[in-house]
Structure 1
Amino acid sequence: MLLLAVDTATPAVTAALHDGASVVAESSSVDARRHGELLLPTVDRVLADAGVRLDAVTAVVAGVGPGPYTGLRVGLVTAATFGSALGVPVYGLCTLDGLAYASGLDGPFVVATDARRKEVYWARYDSPRSRVEGPFVDRPADIAERVAGLPVVGAGALLYPDTFPDARAPEHVSAAALASLAAEKLAAGAVGAFENEPGVPPQPMYLRRPDAQVPKNYKVVTPK
């Protein structure tokens, strides 16, 4: 087994390789405006560090968000392209699940990432492997009572300390965590625990409409 994991749902552009036993290579950078420029070089770096070619990959794992439209699409389209070119399955995992897994927290906690527009993407967990509520997109003040007293993992906690005073690491998702979580699920035969059905490409979790929309009262010009 050689899993290639990628995620571009947050400002982190991240890739990792997992051989079924452990992460063999990983690379991440944080740049919210350059997902399209950075992802393929990041994948190339990971492959080079592991000393393998892309055609050695046996499965691809992609973070499906939630996340902003443009950045999230970069990772999903890249993962789908790799899967099609290599003839290997592509699995989707919730990006927030990767953050939860990397946190190592045992009790109830929340994961919150930046959704822009003064909102956060968030979900509640009973353990690093068990999401019990969400994901949702909300203004922090609107969920203050629901998350009161719980540790909060992710950049959302740092952006809104009044609502999330107990901020915990990590701030951004890592593909290494996604790859490790996916390897566990595959080893347990829990294919149905992924965000997509077997043979169906992962779908992005947007949770709201994209910022770019067709203007209202758009005037259609036709040739005379």
Structure 2
Amino acid sequence: MSTLILTIDTATPAVSAGVVRRSGAEVTVLAERVTVDARAHAEQLTPNVLAALHDAGVEVDALDAVVVGCGPGPFTGLRVGMASAAAYGHALGIPVRGVCSLDAIGVDASSAPDLLVVTDARRREVYWARYRSGVRTDGPAVSAPADVPAGAGAVAGSPEHAALFDLPRLPPVYPSPGGLVRAVDDWDAEPEPLVPLYLRRPDAKPPTARR
């Protein structure tokens, strides 16, 4: 039995939406729309979702599930993607599954026996995780590039930040629709609540009460 899945990821500068058909272990990407703009998550996500559905020839009420990247990523970007995914799931009465966005990149480069995936964490830091044949073995974490544990055989993810490591670079740059679907551990399990992976406190702090 095949299922139609809407994928959303806003954990990186890529505002990504896709439509994927899953049949057992077979994953087929029917459509993908991506806008690379770190400041346009809110403006671009809905148009990208609607365009992906149109490109795939799929009506929104035909969807069976939603998969969303839960980071690590900046607060605003993650909030846009995860809130939208939850809204689609609630409106359509379908399950929403959250995955680590780095896992979606790692599974797309599963041919690498020991892979480092990095994305932009700003503040001269990177979000990172390590993978062995597509399975996460360390992370996700955030640190300065110099503090990322050594020993990986290749690196994937943000080109600008991957270039900071003296490792062969593999093609996956952003979480893909197929990678997001393949990153789901157990499709038979009950979906867990969506939990954003911020990995650090937000910059904005509530004002302290006057004594």
The answer for the alignment partner of 1:141 in structure 2 is 146
Instruction: Please say if residues 116 and 152 of structure 2, whose CA atoms lie closer than 8 Å, have aligned partners that are also in contact.
Output: no
Deviation per residue, 1:116-156 (Å, 9 max, x gap) = 0011110111112x10111000111112xx2245211111x
Deviation at 1:175, TM superposition (A): 2.4
Whole-Å separation in 1 of the counterparts to 2:103 and 2:152: 20
The answer for the alignment partner of 2:16 in structure 1 is 14
Whole-Å separation in 2 of the counterparts to 1:80 and 1:61: 10
Whole-Å separation in 2 of the counterparts to 1:49 and 1:32: 24
1:33 equivalenced with 2:35 (yes/no): no
Whole-Å separation in 2 of the counterparts to 1:219 and 1:164: 51
Deviation at 1:214, TM superposition (A): 2.6
SS of 1:23's equivalent in the other structure is strand
The answer for the alignment partner of 1:151 in structure 2 is 154
Deviation per residue, 1:80-127 (Å, 9 max, x gap) = 000100111100110000001122433111111110001111011111
1:127 equivalenced with 2:119 (yes/no): no
Q: Which residue of 63, 67, 75 maps to 2:73?
A: 67
Distance change in 2, residues 1:70/1:164 (3 Å): farther
Task: Identify the structure with the greater helix proportion.
Answer: 1
SS of 1:20's equivalent in the other structure is strand
Calculate percent identity across the aligned residue pairs. Answer: 44
Whole-Å separation in 2 of the counterparts to 1:149 and 1:76: 31
- The answer for unaligned runs of 5 or more in structure 1 is 192-197
Deviation at 1:180, TM superposition (A): 4.0
The answer for the alignment partner of 1:110 in structure 2 is 116
- The answer for unaligned runs of 5 or more in structure 2 is none
Whole-Å separation in 2 of the counterparts to 1:2 and 1:203: 23
Instruction: Please say if residues 28 and 174 of structure 1, whose CA atoms lie closer than 8 Å, have aligned partners that are also in contact.
Output: no
Structure 1 counterpart of 2:76, which letter?
Answer: T
Structure 2 counterpart of 1:78, which letter?
Answer: S
Whole-Å separation in 2 of the counterparts to 1:219 and 1:32: 36
Structure 2 counterpart of 1:49, which letter?
Answer: D
Q: What is the TM-score of this pair, normalised by structure 1?
A: 0.84
In our comparison, the structure showing a higher alpha carbon Rg is 1
The answer for the alignment partner of 2:200 in structure 1 is 208
Deviation at 1:25, TM superposition (A): 1.3
Instruction: Please say if residues 10 and 77 of structure 2, whose CA atoms lie closer than 8 Å, have aligned partners that are also in contact.
Output: yes
Task: Identify the structure with the greater strand proportion.
Answer: 2
Whole-Å separation in 1 of the counterparts to 2:192 and 2:152: 39
The answer for the alignment partner of 1:179 in structure 2 is 181
Whole-Å separation in 1 of the counterparts to 2:157 and 2:50: 27
Whole-Å separation in 2 of the counterparts to 1:138 and 1:49: 39
